[in-house]
Chains A and B, each alone.
Chain A
Amino acid sequence: MPIIELNYKPLNMGRNIVPPAQNLFLHGAFVNIAIAPIPKPGGTQQSVVPAIGKALIDTGATFTCVDEDVCQALGLHAVGTSNISHVDGKSARARYPVQISFPDFQLPPLKLIRATSVILNNMTPPFIALIGRDLLLTSN
């Protein structure tokens, strides 16, 4: 598993500047990511603009999940369903194939065939993904 170093910068929130430690306290450990469709076998390239945003490193999440709005915007087709348990009960959610890149680190893109779709657009900051233990497991 690669070791990555995150240096939190002060966060500009209008008239207030949030210092790095407070930024970590408020938002947790997050990284910048790009989410794109998995390139088709055979090398045909797709002309879809990747979704770029922040992903929370969530060791409490079994599987990596991606915001449903992002999946829809990328035009992804679901390849399965997943039963998930969360603080609000249990749900069945669609799973999508995605390629996740980390623009701030020299890591190869990761293909995740069955990323669980969830609703993240009500979070602050607006994360586009939660990096779960499945992705941490494959990052070697």
Chain B
Amino acid sequence: MEQKLFKEELAYWLANKKRLLETAPGKIVLIKGDKDYGFFDTDEAAYEAGVRLFGDESFFIQELLEYDNIADFPAYLVNCH
């Protein structure tokens, strides 16, 4: 994965994780650059809001969980670095 992908958004997420978690635990937050644009109940609602706000530009959707989900792919994936 390109290292610069969502560099600014990830930095914002990490810097504001505690506040965001306290504000809306379990919700989905929409982030663009160094600003968040609201909380949503579902991925789909967050995505539709992102498309309305930013069109074809990239935006970042993050589930507000204390511990990040690490996905397991035990069988098939190699050379993913």
Contacts and interface: CB of A to CB of B under 8 A. Distances in A.
Contact of B77 (A83, A84, A113): A84
Interface string A2-19: 000000000000000000
Nearest to B46: A113
A93 B59 contact: no
Q: How large, as a class, is the contact surface on chain A? A: 35 or more
A4 to B, nearest CB: 21
B34 to A, nearest CB: 16
Q: How large, as a class, is the contact surface on chain B? A: 20 to 34
Contacts of A116: 71
B50 A118 contact: no
A22 interface: no
A134 to B, nearest CB: 9
A122 interface: yes
A111 to B, nearest CB: 6
B62 A80 contact: yes
Interface string A91-117: 111100100000000000001011011
14 contacts: A40-B51, A58-B73, A60-B74, A81-B10, A88-B78, A88-B80, A88-B81, A91-B81, A92-B1, A93-B1, A94-B1, A113-B61, A117-B1, A118-B80
Interface of A: 38, 40-41, 56, 58, 60-63, 65, 77-94, 97, 111, 113-114, 116-120, 122-123, 130, 132
Interface of B: 1-2, 5-6, 10, 43-44, 46-48, 50-52, 56-62, 68-81
